[in-house]
Amino acid sequence: MTISPQPCQNCKRLGRLGPGTYILLLRVMKASALRVGKLGRFALPTGFYLYVGSALGRGGISGRLKHHLSRSELLHWHVDYLSKVACLEEIWYQESQVRQEHRWAIILSTRGKIPMAGFGSSDCKCKAHLFFFSRRPQLHIFRKVLKNMDPKTESVRRVRIPPGSRME
């Protein structure tokens, strides 16, 4: 049975987001192996994966999320490979001109496991920008860690993605 993608009603409330940093919360329901470009093949146990990215260019966060929700056949970023076997359930984001993805990746590396070294971080010194959690990561805990590091930090927002959704 094929489920056709539905417009993401929650995505409409995102509106036009400017530059910033985001986290995709993806869920793998069936353990499998995945080949990711030049990184090679790695095992994907069932569970939750947080992918950290930034969108500081012209399209901002809205443009990047449109790509992630489009289910394109074009595999441009490492996370595009993962989206073929994982369901996007939530997006956490923060609008800012300041690149936060490396700081966020460091925080997540202390809490989750790195399933594949170099995933999403081929252009920086981070060990990875993808982190595995056997239980669903909680945004309020992530927010608390950020606030403890910098009380002036802007709040990280969330949008939940219904199953089978796409950006309009």
Contact 28, 9 (CB under 8 A): no
Cα 96 from Cα 93, distance rounded (Å): 10
Query: What sign results for the dihedral spanned by CA atoms 143, 19, 6, 132?
Result: negative
**Residue at 27 is within a domain:** yes
Picking from 8, 17, 36, the residue whose alpha carbon sits closest to that of residue 130 is: 36
Exposed (0-12), middle (13-18) or buried (19+): which is 126, by Cβ within 10 Å? Answer: buried
Cα 10 from Cα 148, distance rounded (Å): 29
**Count of domains observed in the chain:** 1
Res. 2: pLDDT tops 50: no
**Residue at 38 is within a domain:** yes
**Residue at 1 is within a domain:** no
pLDDT bucket at 81, cuts 50 / 70 / 90: confident
**Residue at 84 is within a domain:** yes
Please give the mean pLDDT across all residues of the chain.
81
**Residue at 14 is within a domain:** yes
**Residue at 113 is within a domain:** yes
**What residues make up the domain containing 120?**
6-166
Q: What confidence tens digit (pLDDT) does each residue in 53-75 have?
A: 988 888 888 877 776 676 666 66
Please give the pLDDT value at position 50. Answer: 95
Cα 53 from Cα 129, distance rounded (Å): 7
Per the rule left: phi > 0, alpha: psi between -120 and 50, beta: everything else, 74 is: beta
Q: What confidence tens digit (pLDDT) does each residue in 122-160 have?
A: 677 778 888 999 999 999 999 999 999 988 888 899 988
Res. 1: pLDDT tops 50: no
**Residue at 16 is within a domain:** yes
Global pTM exceeds 0.75: yes
